[in-house]
Structures are given as C-alpha cells and as structure tokens.
C-alpha cells in the first residue's frame, strides 16, 4: 500500500495535523505531545458524543495515544469561513449555524463519561472560570500593551466590577457548549456541516456559543446581520418574548468576557507561541467589545476603563 503524508494547517492548540493518503483514501493524523489528554482523548470523546447525537464531527479511526497520535476521518479543507467570506448575502448560511447550535444544546450531557478506559469529566462554566479567563486580558494584553500603568491595582479594580457583571448572568449553565463555535471551526463537505476543535466543550450558558458565532473576531459581518441572527436564535429556541432582555444581557456579557479573553489569548499566541497571524484581529475584537459595552449593564465598567486606562492608545498600540 502506498502512503503519502502532508502537513496541513493547524489551530491555536498544541496539535499538529497531517493528511495521510492511503491509495485513494485519506484520513487525518493528529499529533499532540503537550496537553495530549485534552487534545487527543477528550477531543475524541466529545466527537463521539456529537456523532452519537447526529452532529457530524471527526470520527476516531485509530488510537495511538501512547505515541501521542490519533487518526481521524478527513472532513476536507473547506471551512464555513471559506464558504461565506466572499458571499454578499450570508444570512441563509449563518442561520444554519444557529440551527446547529440549537441542535447541540438539546444534547443532555452527563458530567462523567468513560472513553478508552479514561475518565472524562464535563464541568459547569462557573463564575470563577469566567473570572479566570478574563485574567488573560490583564496578564497578557495589558502587560504588553501598556507599560506605564499599575497593573496589579487596575486588575483588582476592574476584576471586581467584572465579577459584579458576571453575577448578573440570568441563565444557568445547563447546556452543551462547544466553547469555540465560530466560522473556522465548521467544516463544509458535500453541503454537510461538521463541527471540529471540540475538546474544550463544557456545560454552559445557552448564549455562549451564540456570542462566539455572532461576535466572531475572525470575520466581520454587518451589525444588521448580527441582530438578525440573535433574533433568529430567539425565535427558534424555546425562550419566550419575556426572556428577551435577559437573553440580550447574557449575550452582551458573554461576548465581552470572551473577547477580553481573546485579546489576551491572541497576544499570548504571538508572544509565547510565535504565532503572529492572530495580532491582525485585535482592532476588530475591540470594536465588538465597544459595541456590546453600550449596554447600560456596563456603565460602571466603561467609567472604570476610561478612568484607569487610556483605551484609545491600547486599541491602536503595536506590540
């Protein structure tokens, strides 16, 4: 049998991906020496759960865990991002992703699974986790973008207000949440949508994946489409009109939390992991944060930002 191995584009994790061709059939080799439990075992387990519930994801073909390798099905090279990036009218396509979110939210996820003899635990997205992720903004983004501030003092002040805001989240963490649901993590093959990069799945707030999709920092879509997609989720979900304000507040809070975290992660990817490609997304990330912080729920946080940080300079600074 003839084999051909070719390295292909990876993601923000420590994994490396290779396409292997065996005669006329292809599959994907995933290699992960760091964090391999999450990047190989948990990843495979979540994919198995998704496929069991008719949500297309990579299937495990062979497990060479001791050698830091697994082999999975090949879902091709075309992502949802590739599909819609040059389309003028993206609404119909994006609505399909809202429907996919609603589908995975129907999965009744258990807290504990066993996969290949290993215990897999799914945790609820807690207030402490939200805060811990926000720390990435202070510890990476602010650390490198603003050299002349009293970082520890400002971090303490802003963290206190962020915690107050996170306490205002209305809906409980009771839903299957992919946690990185955006255009580049959906593969398109023969008009079929498949979900990848699922190793961080948790039990979370119903608006988290919605915010990840609509406020995706990697692709700019008009505010009118963002609003339309939020309303579409509202219409298609089991929530009522009375829930609208709570839904919108949770959406805005989680979007700001996620994008503050992303600012930190993308600087970390640049500084620590030598992946400079992510820096180009920072200005649009700030635009999305500003858009959501117009919600009165952020009034005090806006005041504190203006008082303690020169945000104008932070948003245009170069590392």
Q: How many domains does the chain have?
A: 2
Residues 276 and 130 in one domain: yes
Cα(22)–Cα(54) distance, integer angstroms:
27
Evaluate whether residue 15 is within a structural domain.
yes
pLDDT tens digits, 73-108: 999 999 999 999 889 899 999 999 999 999 999 999
The pLDDT of residue 314 is above 60: no
Residues 51 and 107 in one domain: no
Evaluate whether residue 117 is within a structural domain.
no
Cα(256)–Cα(193) distance, integer angstroms:
27
Residues 171 and 231 in one domain: yes
Residue 317: its pLDDT value, please?
47
Residue 150: its pLDDT value, please?
83
Residues 233 and 293 in one domain: yes
Residue 316: its pLDDT value, please?
45
The pLDDT of residue 120 is above 90: yes
- Mean residue pLDDT across the chain: 92
pLDDT tens digits, 244-269: 999 999 999 999 999 999 999 999 99
Evaluate whether residue 29 is within a structural domain.
yes
Residues 133 and 190 in one domain: yes
Evaluate whether residue 85 is within a structural domain.
yes
Residue 2: its pLDDT value, please?
67
The whole model's pTM is what? Answer: 0.92
Residues 64 and 140 in one domain: no
Residue 315: its pLDDT value, please?
52
pLDDT (mean) for 13-41: 89
Residues 91 and 24 in one domain: no
Evaluate whether residue 218 is within a structural domain.
yes
The pLDDT of residue 318 is above 60: no
Boundary of a domain, candidates 13, 46, 73 = 73
Residues 172 and 30 in one domain: no
Q: Which residues, in sequence order, are CB contacts of 180 under 8 Å at separation 6+?
A: 197, 198, 200, 212
pLDDT tens digits, 264-279: 999 999 999 898 999 9
Residues 68 and 100 in one domain: no
Boundary of a domain, candidates 45, 73, 101 = 73
Residues 35 and 168 in one domain: no
Evaluate whether residue 118 is within a structural domain.
no
Evaluate whether residue 261 is within a structural domain.
yes
pLDDT tens digits, 170-186: 999 999 999 999 999 99
Evaluate whether residue 97 is within a structural domain.
yes
Residue 173: its pLDDT value, please?
95
Tell me 40's DSSP state: I
Q: Which residues, in sequence order, are CB contacts of 213 under 8 Å at separation 6+?
A: 94, 97, 98, 101, 181, 182, 183, 229
The pLDDT of residue 1 is above 60: no
pLDDT tens digits, 141-150: 998 877 767 8
- Whichever domain contains 139, its CATH number is 3.90.1200.10
Residues 311 and 266 in one domain: yes
Which residue range(s) make up the domain with 140?
80-112+123-316
Residues 84 and 163 in one domain: yes
């Amino acid at each position: 049998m003839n084999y051909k191995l070719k390295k292909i584009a990876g993601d923000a994790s420590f994994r490396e991906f290779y396409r292997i061709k065996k005669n006329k059939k292809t599959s994907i080799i995933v290699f992960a020496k760091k964090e391999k439990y999450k990047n190989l075992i948990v990843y495979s387990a979540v994919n198995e759960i998704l496929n069991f519930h008719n949500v297309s994801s990579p299937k495990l073909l062979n497990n060479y865990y001791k050698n830091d390798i697994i082999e999975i099905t090949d879902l091709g090279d075309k992502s949802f991002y590739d599909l819609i990036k040059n389309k003028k009218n993206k609404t119909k396509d994006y609505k399909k992703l809202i429907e996919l979110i609603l589908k995975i939210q129907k999965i009744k996820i258990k807290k504990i699974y066993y996969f290949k003899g290993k215990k897999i635990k799914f945790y609820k997205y807690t207030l402490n986790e939200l805060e811990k992720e926000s720390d990435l903004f202070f510890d990476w983004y602010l650390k490198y973008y603003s050299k002349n501030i009293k970082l520890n003092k400002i971090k303490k002040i802003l963290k206190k207000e962020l915690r107050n805001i996170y306490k205002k989240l209305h809906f409980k963490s009771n839903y299957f949440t992919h946690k990185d649901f955006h255009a580049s993590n959906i593969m398109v093959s023969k008009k079929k949508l498949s979900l990848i990069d699922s190793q961080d799945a948790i039990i979370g707030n119903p608006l988290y994946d919605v915010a990840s999709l609509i406020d995706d920092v990697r692709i700019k879509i008009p505010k009118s489409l963002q609003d339309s997609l939020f309303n579409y989720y509202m219409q298609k979900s089991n929530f009522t009109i009375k829930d609208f304000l709570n839904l919108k507040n949770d959406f805005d809070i989680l979007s700001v939390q996620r994008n503050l975290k992303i600012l930190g992660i993308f600087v970390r990817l640049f500084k620590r992991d030598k992946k400079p490609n992510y820096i180009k997304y920072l200005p649009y990330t700030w635009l999305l944060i500003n858009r959501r912080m117009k919600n009165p729920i952020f009034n005090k946080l806006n005041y504190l930002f203006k008082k303690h940080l020169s945000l104008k300079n932070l948003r245009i600074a170069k590392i």
